A and B are shown apart, each in its own frame.
Chain A
Amino acid sequence: MFNVLLFEYSINSLKRRGVKNLFVLIIFSLLIFILSSIFFISASLREELISTVDALPDIIVSKIKAGRQYDIETDRSEEILQIPGVEDTIPRVWGYYYYQKAGVNFSVVGLKEFENNYKKEFDKIAQDIDFTELREKPSMIVGAGVKRVLTANYYKEYFNFVKPNGDFQRVYIKGVFKGENEFETNDIIFLDEEIARKIFGMEEDKATDIVVKVANPAEVQTIAKKIRLLYPDTRVITKNDLKVSYQNIFDYKSGIFLALFVVAIFTFFMIVYDKISGLTSEEKKEIGILKAIGWRIEDILKEKFYEAFIISITAFLIGVTLSLAFVYIFDAPLIRDIFTGYSVLKPPFKIPFVFDFQTVALIFFTTVPVYIAACIIPSWKTATLEADEVIR
């Protein structure tokens, strides 16, 4: 069924009408390049974020009043600890501090000295800090992005937080922190929990939220339900909820692009249809000659299909390869900000390499079949030209 000779003829035929085919090839490759880049980036970031989510707490409990988050009573954590299956509960003090002059948000995380913090990494940081020193002379450890912003605003040794009541809270910069996951820790400020409370104007017996550790992952849903029953005024989010919502965000953003892309691809369809339909008289004559010397309509159709196949697969390979280089070697400038946000504090991180066969299949199905579909009717029209008239 596959005829090598016809295939060679197709390659030759494409070369002979080089300009027209090159034009189509370049546009198609470009379209595939853009689409692949979007998909590769989103697949990688999703992997990265999902692995991040794994490190997140099993359950986060926050108090909701009138649809907004409020400080939660710390003694609730004692009650939650009583629920069977709960390994540990940790009230957290953290939040966002908006530094108006620079127009950026810092994430402020309060660390405890003796009790465990919800993240092992934070525990490590906590160990390295001398808390007594931190309390006497309030100090903080900041992420690289924070340091950059503060220095740019002439805060070299300390920073003055503005408390809710208008007073200042001076906190000295003890050191710069570089975490495993740059993406996460770039805009973080670590300081003692009490100082954090002061900055946010939070009372002693309150916390931002309560983190729950569950021994058996299969029981998370049940325990979450129990907590909801126990405290109807809370929002209880499980790790799985986070995973699902991340996946949905990525799918949503990718979905938007795909929708836009679909528009682009239909335009492309029209262009291809038009280009391939327009035969010069020389091309028509050639078809006439072929038929006159014994090529059947099927043979011409087969040859035209080989041409369509060669162009689309070549464009596909070029587009995907260039995209792989663009995303994973050059870190996809411009496009990746769409996914990660435009915050000034986002660090220059490297996109992790994730090569997923399904992503490639996805790119394939949204591009190649469309091109070949665009070629069906024009190829048929060509193949059914009357040889007799053409060669007189």
Chain B
Amino acid sequence: MSLLTPEVLAILLIDFIFLIFSLIAFFLSVKIVLKWDINATTPLQYSLEKQSYLIATIIKYILFLKIPLFIFFIFTMDKLSNVIPGAMCAAGVVNATSYGFPLLILKIINLYLFGFWLILHKFDMQSPDYPFTKTKFLFFIFIFFSLSAEIVLEFLMFEGIDPAKIVSCCGTLFSAAKTSGISSLMSLPHAPVIVLFYLSFLSIAVLYKIKNDILFAIANLWFLIISIFSLILFFSTYIYQLPTHHCPFCLLQKDYYYIGYFLYFFLFSGTFWGTAVMFSHFFLKKRISLWYNFSLIFDTLYVITISLYPIVFYIKNGVWL
């Protein structure tokens, strides 16, 4: 591997730890899913109960480490752009291999999945008959495969980046000029996308009032997708004040006051709690209004912050880009 910078090594080291421990958790989970019987008073059941604590501890360890690690990962990708010719920001590095983009998406999905697992775990522990134990460990078995896929992709990506090969910078990646999947999306007209964005937020606000769990969750998922989309297509140009700069990574840099971190934090937090609402619906059969509130607050913060950019620009300059 020609790209063995210390940062990459650190990430792979932690990946290795995750792999080993999640493997342990995996085997224990399989055991539990097969043999768990809360009503049994056998030594086997008692030892399974003890082991379920080990799995929960391992999962908490992984999740709480994954969050700062993800930020570090983004930092590292940004730093790598200095050694890879052509890349000016993380976007170039992510696209240096075919693994980069799916890896990024998978990382975000896994953060959500781990979060959901912890919620399920919390519910499970709330009543003495541990009603969701089998379900939650079955869920973990699924998560294990997703996590393993992420680690494999990560290794493949770092292995495959060739510092001698020139990559495209975000300017070309996100322009309508080239012929790629992203580019065809770039040539969509802005107005309908913006309308969809605000409409989706409106639907969240309305569903908040009505308190329909399933629809609220779906609305949040849709909101996540349309937000990222509208961010790349439209809003980012106002952050950079350049009609051709669409990159979703550059806004993490110092030049833009690290606004990207805030925006993504709001967006991911809001949509996480919004989708979590579905869990309380199915498993607890009750509504947790606190999550509704979290979701709405963070979603609103995102919408306000992102909208400020074009609005302020218009006020200052009198025209749109």
Contacts and interface: CB of A to CB of B under 8 A. Distances in A.
A–B touching in complex (CB under 8 Å) = yes
A373 B57 contact: no
Contacts of A255: 4-6, 9
A353 B75 CA distance: 22
B173 to A, nearest CB: 19
Interface stretch (B10-18, B242-250, B281-289, B307-315): B10-18
Contacts of A39: 6
B175 to A, nearest CB: 19
B58 interface: yes
Interface in A250-275: 251-252, 254-255, 258-259, 262, 265
A259 B232 CA distance: 39
Nearest to A367: B10
A251 B6 contact: yes
B88 to A, nearest CB: 13
Contacts of A372: 61
A376 B57 contact: yes
Contact of A361 (B4, B54, B75): B75
B211 interface: no
B320 interface: no
Interface stretch (A77-85, A182-190, A331-339, A377-385): A377-385
Contacts of B4: 251-252, 255
Most chain A CB within 10 A, of B6, B7, B72, B82, is at B6
A366 interface: yes
Given A255-B9, A365-B69, A247 B82 contact: yes
A244 interface: yes
A217 B75 CA distance: 26
A251 B17 contact: no
A39 B61 CA distance: 26
Interface in A353-374: 358, 361-362, 365-366, 369-370, 372-373
Contacts of A248: 83, 163
Given A358-B79, A365-B69, A380 B61 contact: no
B53 interface: yes
Contacts of B206: none
B211 to A, nearest CB: 26
Contact of B53 (A252, A297, A358, A369): A297
A264 B237 CA distance: 48
Contacts of B11: 365
B67 interface: no
Contact of B13 (A244, A247, A366, A376): A366
A377 B54 contact: yes
Contact of B17 (A254, A370, A380, A384): A370
Nearest to A221: B85
Interface string B16-37: 0100010000000000000000
A323 to B, nearest CB: 15
Contact of B10 (A247, A297, A366, A380): A366
B54 A362 contact: no
B165 interface: no
A170 to B, nearest CB: 47
Contact of A362 (B10, B50, B83): B10
Nearest to A357: B75
B72 to A, nearest CB: 6
Nearest to B53: A297
Contacts of B72: 361-362, 365
A255 B85 CA distance: 21
A373 B53 contact: no
B321 interface: no
A11 B216 CA distance: 45
A380 B10 CA distance: 26
A34 interface: no
B57 A362 contact: no
Contacts of B108: none
Interface string A326-346: 000000000000000000000
A357 to B, nearest CB: 9
A346 B101 CA distance: 46
B65 interface: yes
23 contacts: A39-B6, A244-B163, A247-B82, A248-B83, A254-B6, A255-B9, A258-B6, A259-B9, A358-B7, A358-B75, A362-B7, A365-B14, A366-B10, A366-B13, A369-B14, A369-B65, A370-B17, A372-B61, A373-B17, A373-B61, A377-B54, A379-B57, A380-B54
Given A252-B4, A262-B9, A361-B75, 7 more contacts: A262-B13, A297-B53, A362-B7, A366-B13, A370-B13, A376-B58, A384-B53
9 pairs of A and B residues whose beta carbons are closest in the complex: A384-B50, A251-B5, A365-B10, A380-B54, A255-B4, A366-B10, A254-B6, A258-B6, A258-B9
